[in-house]
Amino acid sequence: DKVNKALEDDRCFWSFEYFPPKTEPGVMNLYDRIERMCDLGPLFIDVTWRWGGKSSDLTLELCSVSQTVYGVEANMHMTCTNTNFSLIKNALEKAKDNGVQNILALRGDLPDGTVEFDPSVGEFKYATDLVRYIRQTYGSYFCISVAGYPEGCLGPEDIDRDIEYLKAKQDAGADLVITQLFYDVDNFLRWVDKCRKAGITIPILPGIMPIQNYGGFKRMTDLCRIKVPEEIWDRLEPIKDDDQAIKDYGIEVAASMIKQMQSAGVRGFHFYTVNLERSTRMVLEKLGFVPSVNEVRPLPWNPSLSEKRA
Ligand code: FAD
């Protein structure tokens, strides 16, 4: 609803993705960061999901605490393959009991070394199955988002088939698409056009990941098979050992991608923060979406005094 309202008002908005840290101090740091980043006015935050251990419980806890303590709406990721149905049912019930009303319904990656879905390990084969189950069981209680792949989940040669499957997720009850990260804006805009022509009418939020360091960027884009324009590699190569220069360039790239999308009418932007604050903040500042930390702004309770934002 919030996304549709922002789109109706034709105003830009943004959301932030986080993942559950592995250690207790990491969790405390993330809470501090989420709280500070709420100052940046995200429309909602997302928390990723992994079955096993305490990870999925922590995802729910991060969502629930962010909503009740920091007042920001949370979108909880949930994967469905190779998982017992009762665990999925239980997790959805817990989400509802904790006031979480947004689920990003995903298939999840198949276990390492597996290329085929194993029906003996769970009933859900595709994200569509989870979307359908949530919609049929909970009616309109949950807002359901799904993943979209501007460069294809199956690979570029199967993009049309992939779009058909995305349409099936909408038909099963999905309300919103959040895309895989990408760096080729023209390709994203062409893909959105194709989705619209295929009858996908729900909002599509592009996934933006500001580049943080050379090694991590290379690994991530290789792993997710993301095409990186030559020009970006050319700019990264001479600065690859200078982390600060890479981060600064990453901010420049993300801001210029958003500007290009904004000119094409895109209004919502989903940031893969990798639990970091600075790059996302700097991109939003660079675009003028939020005031700069150094900006002197009047205090509302005494306009004659001003204070630097902490
Ligand atoms: P699906 O939509 O089910 O698609 C999976 C594959 O099956 C695709 O190749 C698709 O083309 C094909 N397919 C779909 N429907 C059919 C059909 N009816 N018949 C035949 N083939 C079909 N992973 C995590 O583990 N945790 C997370 O928190 C997480 N968050 C993510 C967030 C976003 C925004 C994105 C883009 C990905 C995320 N992932 C996460 C990764 C995701 O789980 C994997 O990319 C996974 O391999 C695909 O999930 P999906 O929901 O897109 O699957």
CA of 108 to the centre of ligand 1 (A): 6
pLDDT in tens for each of the 310 residues of the chain? 899 999 999 999 999 999 999 999 999 999 999 999 999 999 999 999 998 778 999 999 999 999 999 999 999 999 998 888 999 999 999 999 999 999 999 998 876 667 677 777 778 999 999 999 999 999 999 999 999 999 988 777 789 999 999 999 999 999 999 999 999 999 999 999 999 999 999 999 999 999 999 999 999 999 888 999 999 999 999 999 999 999 999 999 999 999 999 999 999 999 999 999 999 999 999 999 998 876 655 444 444 444 434 3
Neighbours of 310 (CB within 10 A): 6
Q: In whole angstroms, give the CA distance from residue 65 to residue 262.
A: 32
Q: In whole angstroms, give the CA distance from residue 144 to residue 130.
A: 10
Encoded tokens for 233: 């590699």
Assess whether 17 carries a catalytic annotation: yes
CA of 212 to the centre of ligand 1 (A): 25
3-state helix, strand, coil in the chain (%, to 5): 50, 15, 35
CA of 106 to the centre of ligand 1 (A): 5
Using CB distances shorter than 6 Å, the residues near ligand 1 are: 48-50, 77, 79, 104, 106-109, 126-128, 147, 153-154, 162, 165, 168, 178, 180, 207
Interface confidence (ipTM) of the complex: 0.98
Three-state SS for 82-143 is CCCHHHHHHHHHHHHHCCCCEEEEECCCCCCCCCCCCHHHCCCCCHHHHHHHHHHHHCCCCE
Q: Which atom of ligand 1 is nearest to the CA of 106?
A: 51
Angle at alpha carbon of residue 111, lines to 110 and 114, rounded to 5°:
75
Nearest CA to ligand 1 atom 24: 108
